[in-house]
Structure formats: C-alpha cells, structure tokens
C-alpha cells in the first residue's frame, strides 16, 4: 500500500487565494492523502470556503491561534501520514506532485527531507520565475541558501524527533526548522517543479520585509550557541556571515530601504568578496535606488521577471486551479 501523506494548510484571511490552494491539493492523483486545514479565525469569508470543501478534509478547525507556526504545529499533532508537508493558503501544488514525492522517497530511503523546485506567480496566477535549487545541507542553510517551503516534504518521524516549528519565529520559521532537521537527516533535492509560490502585495515577506533582518540575527545567535552548528560557523565564518548579511540586505531592499540595503550588501561583500557573484544586481539596484535612480533597477527587475512562455511548458495547466495556462 502506498504511504499516507499528510498535507496541512494554515489559513488566515487570504480568501482570495484559499480555494485555489485547496483545489491544488484535492485534485492530486495520489490515492492515500490526508488533508488538514487549520484556520486562525478568519473574518474574510475563508471559513465559508473551508466549509465548502470540508468533506474532503481529514480534519479542520477555525479558531484564534498564535500565528502561522502555531497553526502548522496543530496540524502536525493531528497528522498520521508517514510523509508530511504544509502548504500555505496562498501557494499551490502542481499536478501529480504528491505521486512524484512518494516515488522520490522510495528511491531515496535514507532521506528524511526531499525538496523540489518551484515557480513564482503573481496575484493573478501569471507565472513569473523558475526557482531552482541544489543539494544543500547544514552549512548551506547556515549561509542562508533558501529552499522554497511549499516544495518541501518531510518524514513525520524525523519532524517529531527534532520538534515542530518554533512559534517565536514569524518569517524564517521554516528555515530554522530546516537547519534543525539537517543535523539529523539527509536532505535530497529532486530536480522537478513541484510547487507555486505566490508573490503578492499582501504577503508577509512583502508587507513586513524590513523586519526580517532581526530574525536572521536571531537564527545566527541561536546557531552560535549550539556546539555542532558553532563548529560549522567557525570553519566557514566569512561565508556564513556574508550569507546572513546578504539575506538581511535583500529584505531591506524589498522593504523600501535601499540605503540600508546598500550598506548591508557592502558589509556582505567585505566579509566574503566572492559572495558578490550571486547578488551583484541587487547590490547595484540598492546603490541606484539610494541616490534616486531606483527606476533603472525597477526596469531591470521588470525585464528580468517578465513572464516567460517556457516556464512549465512541459506541464499541462489546463483547468488547474489558480494558474493561467500557456
């Protein structure tokens, strides 16, 4: 029998995207799927959408909670699947993903976590960018190499061993979990597009971008108090801290603070000069924006992020929820 897979959707006041998220799970072709929806007491009509599909859920609840991590953790406690994942209420799975995930775990029995690639989409479901990753481990995560959360699937046993999400984190709750998991199990990258990460003006990483830096520092402070992680940081000090500074700068830039972003990018470059190869365009954008020429950077990003007709050209998106077909 194929293993049970548990998917958890934390929901709070994102009714405009929620139904697409739900349908991207319920329309999967995998036969042994447990779907859990945890709503934080939404007041925008989300509860009515959830009720519409309640017969397809193993369990759902709508009540006030302490945020995203608390909601996901409620789902983890209810989950019975051998494989678990969470899908936020503005993201989506692509067709056939769960079957592909199970096949990948069966081919990689030592892996406790398997993650795929993803694409980004705007609020209207137009595909924007391909998000490609590599095989990464603890050192890479300490350097703030980011994987796409909706494309990550985990064995429930290893999640229960290391502990659930830390509810004191608001932005990097997933990344802190990846670091903890990577100390205990193998991460495997599956080079196939599994998920859609939606980028829209109401997303917390957009609306509160400039506040993300404090959590990067929190993670670094926590890691430096853990002997095994501190040893990795000590052996890769410049690379790790350059990665942390680069991540802080990225969110400062997205949060409309180009001057602070430029200074932080410069700090990253001074800490580990080779790191500039990966973010030179953002470094330049922050410099231009800080002296009043941000429109040039915006032109560059609009050009870079224009919709490509080749994105997911191998996948039929006809009638798939939330996405505009080719």
pLDDT tens for 95-110 read: 999 999 999 999 999 9
Q: Which of 173, 205, 237 delimits the end of a domain? A: 205
124 three-class SS? coil
pLDDT at position 306: 55
Averaged pLDDT score across all residues of the chain: 91
Within this chain, do residues 130 and 221 fall inside the same structural domain, yes or no?
no
Provide the token pair at 13: 């006041």
Within this chain, do residues 181 and 220 fall inside the same structural domain, yes or no?
no
For residue 55, give the DSSP letter: G
| Cα separation, 132 vs 130, whole angstroms | 6
Band the pLDDT of 210: cuts 50, 70, 90. Answer: low
pLDDT in tens, 115-130: 999 999 988 888 888 9
Residue 320: inside a domain? no
- The reported pTM is 0.92
In sign, the C-alpha dihedral spanning 35, 155, 108, 9 is positive
Helices and strands in the chain, H and E counts: 14, 9
pLDDT in tens, 1-12: 799 999 999 999
Within this chain, do residues 191 and 279 fall inside the same structural domain, yes or no?
no
| Cα separation, 204 vs 143, whole angstroms | 22
- Average pLDDT of span 193-205: 78
Q: What percent of the chain has pLDDT over 70?
A: 88
Domain extent at residue 25: 5-205
pLDDT in tens, 27-72: 999 999 999 999 999 999 999 999 999 999 999 999 999 999 999 9
pLDDT at position 290: 83
For residue 95, give the DSSP letter: T
Q: How far is CA 249 from CA 14, 143, 217, 287, in A?
A: 28, 14, 12, 12
User: 99: domain CATH number?
Assistant: 3.90.550.10
pLDDT in tens, 158-167: 999 999 999 9
Instruction: Lowest mean pLDDT of 33-37, 191-195, 303-307, name the range.
Output: 303-307
Instruction: Lowest mean pLDDT of 158-162, 221-225, 232-236, 248-252, name the range.
Output: 248-252
Q: How many domains does the chain have?
A: 2
Instruction: Lowest mean pLDDT of 29-38, 170-179, 180-189, 272-281, name the range.
Output: 272-281
Within this chain, do residues 105 and 178 fall inside the same structural domain, yes or no?
yes
Band the pLDDT of 201: cuts 50, 70, 90. Answer: low
């Amino acid at each position: 029998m194929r293993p049970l897979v548990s998917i958890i959707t934390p929901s709070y006041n994102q009714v405009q995207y929620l139904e697409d998220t739900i349908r991207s799970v319920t329309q999967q072709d995998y036969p042994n799927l447990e779907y859990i929806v945890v709503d934080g007491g939404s007041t925008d009509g989300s509860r009515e959408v959830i009720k519409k599909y309640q017969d397809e859920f193993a369990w759902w609840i709508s009540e006030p909670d302490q945020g995203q991590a608390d909601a996901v953790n409620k789902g983890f406690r209810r989950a019975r699947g051998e494989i678990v994942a969470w899908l936020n209420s503005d993201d989506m799975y692509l067709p056939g993903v769960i079957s592909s995930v199970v096949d990948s775990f069966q081919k990689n029995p030592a892996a406790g976590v398997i993650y795929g690639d993803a694409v980004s989409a705007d609020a209207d479901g137009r595909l924007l960018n391909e998000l490609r990753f590599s095989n990464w481990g603890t050192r890479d995560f300490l350097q703030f190499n980011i994987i796409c959360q909706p494309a990550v699937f985990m064995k429930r046993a290893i999640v229960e061993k290391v502990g659930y999400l830390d509810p004191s984190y608001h932005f990097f709750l997933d990344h802190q979990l990846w670091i903890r998991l990577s100390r205990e199990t193998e991460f495997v990258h599956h080079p196939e597009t599994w998920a859609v990460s939606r980028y829209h003006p109401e997303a917390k990483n957009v609306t509160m971008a400039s506040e993300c830096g404090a959590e990067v520092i929190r993670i670094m402070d926590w890691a430096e108090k853990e002997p095994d992680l501190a040893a990795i940081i000590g052996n890769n000090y410049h690379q790790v801290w350059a990665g942390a500074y680069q991540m802080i700068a990225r969110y400062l830039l997205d949060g409309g603070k180009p001057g602070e972003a430029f200074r932080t990018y410069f700090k990253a470059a001074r800490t580990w000069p080779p790191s500039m190869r990966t973010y030179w365009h953002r470094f330049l954008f922050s410099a231009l924006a800080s002296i009043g020429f941000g429109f040039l950077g915006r032109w560059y990003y609009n050009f870079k992020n224009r919709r490509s007709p080749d994105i997911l050209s191998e996948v039929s998106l006809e009638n798939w929820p939330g996405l505009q077909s080719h």
